[in-house]
């Protein structure tokens, strides 16, 4: 008896500036959605920052609080994007156009990863950027969650395929 071939694993990297606000929350949301859909084994999911400002740090406490409020464990540890990420991941998701420009310039030609914007996966919006809540109050982190959730749902739907 032979088993059906398994679906290929997609490797997804979420990227923001310092990897303590937007990308770790997107990582946690996407992991949760994949788990709920019974698709956890289809993905390798990580997050990183365009800069190493917070390398080795846990996510911002406000990010972890909004995650907990919505039943998510935001457990990633900040790290910067490294050159190997452009070959190790199939899809790199930038939180805003500035991150995307930087990632495209760093990737150069012939790299494996496709680089897209997070909000491209939310069919209900024309906005392109996930706003950085770092310098604001708690409400900005809740807004960030409300922006990331539909985009992560759209991303999962696009990758189920």
Does residue 104 contact residue 115 with C-beta atoms inside 8 Å?
Answer: yes
| Annotated active-site residue in 21, 22, 100, 122 | 22
CA atoms within 13 A of residue 83's CA, in its CB half-sphere: 3
Helices (H), 72-118: 85-88, 97-107
| Annotated active-site residue in 16, 46, 60, 100 | 16
Beta strands (DSSP E) in 86-154 are 91-94, 114-117
- Does 62 participate in catalysis according to the annotation? no
Who contacts 61 (Cβ-Cβ below 8 Å, separation ≥6)?
none
- Does 16 participate in catalysis according to the annotation? yes
Nearest-angstrom CA–CA distance, 108 and 106? 6
| Annotated active-site residue in 85, 119, 132, 152 | 132
Nearest-angstrom CA–CA distance, 13 and 11? 7
- Does 22 participate in catalysis according to the annotation? yes
Nearest-angstrom CA–CA distance, 109 and 132? 29
CA distances from 89 to 37, 115, 160 (A): 22, 10, 17
Active site residues: 16, 22, 132
């Amino acid at each position: 008896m032979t088993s059906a071939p398994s679906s290929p694993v997609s490797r997804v990297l979420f990227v923001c500036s310092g990897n303590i606000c937007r990308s770790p929350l997107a990582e946690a949301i996407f992991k949760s959605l994949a788990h709920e859909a019974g698709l956890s084994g289809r993905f390798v999911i990580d997050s990183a920052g365009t800069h190493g400002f917070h390398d080795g740090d846990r996510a911002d406490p406000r990010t972890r609080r909004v995650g907990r409020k919505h039943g998510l464990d935001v457990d990633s540890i900040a790290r910067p994007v490294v050159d190997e990420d452009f070959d190790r991941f199939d899809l790199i998701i930038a939180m805003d156009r500035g991150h995307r420009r930087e990632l495209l310039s760093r990737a150069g030609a012939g790299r494996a990863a496709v680089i897209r914007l997070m909000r491209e996966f939310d069919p209900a919006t024309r906005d392109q950027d996930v706003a950085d809540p770092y310098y604001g109050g708690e409400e900005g982190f809740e807004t960030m969650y409300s922006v990331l959730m539909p985009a992560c749902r759209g991303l999962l739907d696009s990758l189920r395929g």
